[in-house]
Amino acid sequence: MSIKEFYFVMTHFLDQLAFTESAELKVCGAYIDRREQLRMVQFLTTFRSDFKGLKDSILHRSPLLSVDSVVSELLAEKIRLQSYSKREFFFASNPFVLAVPSKSF
């Protein structure tokens, strides 16, 4: 499952849970802010250790990012990790070195 797909599934599930909240909580700004922070933390904790550095960085920011911002950062990190692994594969699969004779001056 991709990051975006997981985000949409999780958001749908958490939105369904929000329907069970009392009317008083739904209008309390402090509660809504805290609920969104908890959603972001729950979302981040589901990712594998490849994202540990980014997860730690996000969790130590003040104020915490929105879940949408976290998704954007995770997607960028996924692309970076994929390009890094492709580069490692290229160098590991091509153990040849080009030798060029030097010119005498």
**Local confidence band at 2 (pLDDT 50, 70, 90 cut-offs):** confident
Within-domain flag for 80: no
Cβ of 33: how many Cβ atoms within 10 Å?
Answer: 12
Within-domain flag for 81: no
The residue-averaged pLDDT of 68-84 equals: 87
Within-domain flag for 82: no
What's the total number of domains in the chain? Answer: 1
Within-domain flag for 76: no
Q: What is the DSSP string of 67-82?
A: HHHHHHHHHHHHHHHH
Its pTM surpasses 0.85: no
Rounded to 5 degrees, what angle do the CA atoms 6, 36, 49 make?
45
Q: Are 3 and 74 within 8 A, CB to CB? A: yes
Among 62, 4, 14, which Cα is nearest to 39's?
14
Q: Is the model's pLDDT at 46 over the cut of 60?
A: yes
Within-domain flag for 40: yes
- Give pLDDT, residue 16: 92
Residue type, 12: H
- Give pLDDT, residue 86: 63
